[in-house]
Amino acid sequence: MSNESLILEESAPLDLRLSEAELAATREHVTAFVESVVDDAGAEGAVLGLSGGIDSTLTAHLAVEALGADRVHGLVMPSGVNTAGNMSDAERVARDLGIGYDVVDIDPIFDAFVEAFPEEDTGDRIDTDPLRTAAGNVRVRIRAVLNYFVANAENRVVLGTGNRSEALTGYYTKYGDQAVDCNPIGNLYKQQVRQLAAHVGVDDDLVTKTPSAEMWTGQTDETEMGLSYDTLDAILALHVDGPLSKSATVRQLDVTTEQVDRVVDLFERSAHKRAMPPAPDPLYR
């Protein structure tokens, strides 16, 4: 069955919304966390990539609350596959928050990587997998290098924008958007990210925007994963994080066995992304 038909079949996800009191406490908890990461590192402040998406927008808001606008720096890093709307939203976020930001066009850097790739017919295959994902990952890793360029040069920490739904499914680029110093919203499922964003006053059009990694033109998270975030979050919360068996999860959520299997498969196949690179046990000491 294709990913598209999986999306059409889903229904009745679990309501994971936090109460107003829990949202207020989470807001304080995350800002205290950001402050302590920066202090413990002896850093002057923080840097993060701004994409116009909800994860980076919420993280930027909370970082400004934690550190003050003058200690947060944004990098807007467009490439040919980003929509102009998302890039102007990213700049709007930086302006509204009053943080300093730079716009860095990553296409020339990306082109240099593609040119350096040791196969000749790259150009013909760049729009089909596996090269399409490989190329998208290069764009993501270029942004990580630029984040650390700024962090090293200005004594800042790199704020990640990963959430729990992405962490558990491995829906990120290894050593790309995962290459960060901390993940302030890393314990929130995607629907809680949206909810906290609304709670702190993020503009509604950003809260409800369709999530996209923008690794290639037209990419959306939910189509690629074959599940809506609401259904994904529900299966993660009840079965992967929670105690319910596969069959109890299917009954409880009115989802298909196939959908639960898909989430478990994403979780298991991405275990390597959540672990330190392994080495063999030492033979001699």
Ligand X SMILES: Nc1ncnc2c1ncn2[C@@H]1O[C@H](COP(=O)(O)OP(=O)(O)OP(=O)(O)O)[C@@H](O)[C@H]1O
Ligand Y SMILES: Nc1ncnc2c1ncn2[C@@H]1O[C@H](COP(=O)(O)OP(=O)(O)OC[C@H]2O[C@@H]([n+]3cccc(C(=O)O)c3)[C@H](O)[C@@H]2O)[C@@H](O)[C@H]1O
Active site residues: 55, 166
Residues 6+ apart with CB under 8 A from 223: 3, 4, 7
Task: Name which position in 65, 181, 221, 233 contacts ligand Y (CB under 6 A).
Answer: 221
213 contacts ligand Y (rule: CB under 6 A): yes
107 contacts ligand Y (rule: CB under 6 A): no
Q: Residues 120 to 179: which contact ligand Y by CB under 6 A?
A: 133, 137, 140, 166, 171-174, 176-177
Least separation, in Å, of the C-beta of 245 and ligand Y?
Answer: 26
46 contacts ligand X (rule: CB under 6 A): no
161 contacts which partner out of ligand X, ligand Y, Mg ion, none, CB within 5 to 8 A by kind?
A: ligand X
CB 97 within 8 A of CB 72: yes
Half-sphere exposure of 105 (CA within 13 A, CB side): 6
Token readout for 276 is: 């330190």
Task: Name which position in 53, 136, 170, 184 contacts ligand X (CB under 6 A).
Answer: 53
Q: Is 49 annotated as a binding residue?
A: yes
CB 66 within 8 A of CB 31: yes
Least separation, in Å, of the C-beta of 195 and ligand Y?
Answer: 19
Q: Is 181 annotated as a binding residue?
A: yes
212 contacts ligand X (rule: CB under 6 A): yes
Least separation, in Å, of the C-beta of 142 and ligand Y?
Answer: 12
Token readout for 88 is: 């102007």
Query: What long-range pairs does 16-25 form, CB within 8 A, spacing at least 24?
Result: 16/189, 16/191, 16/192, 16/233, 16/234, 16/237, 17/191, 17/192, 17/195, 18/192, 18/195, 18/196, 20/199, 23/195, 23/196, 23/199, 24/199
Q: How far is CA 39 from the centre of its chain?
A: 24
CB 16 within 8 A of CB 192: yes
Write out the DSSP string of 186-237.
TTS-HHHHHHHHHHHT--HHHHTSPP---SSTT--HHHHHTS-HHHHHHHII
Site string for ligand X, 54-93 (x = CB under 6 A): xxx------------------xxxx---x-----------
231 contacts which partner out of ligand X, ligand Y, Mg ion, none, CB within 5 to 8 A by kind?
A: none
137 contacts which partner out of Mg ion, ligand X, ligand Y, none, CB within 5 to 8 A by kind?
A: ligand Y
Closest C-alpha among 207, 214, 225 to residue 270 = 225
Residues in a beta bridge with 72: 46
Least separation, in Å, of the C-beta of 93 and ligand X?
Answer: 10
> What CA–CA distance (Å, rounded) separates 144 from 72?
17
List, as residue ranges, the binding site for ATP. Answer: 49-56, 161, 190, 212
Question: Which residues are near ligand X by CB under 6 A?
Answer: 48-51, 53-56, 75-78, 82, 143, 161, 177, 211-214, 221
Q: Which residues are documented as binding site for deamido-NAD(+)? A: 141, 174, 181, 272-273
Residues that bind ligand Y (CB under 6 A): 133, 137, 140, 166, 171-174, 176-177, 213, 215, 221, 224, 272
Binding residues: 49-56, 141, 161, 166, 174, 181, 190, 212, 272-273
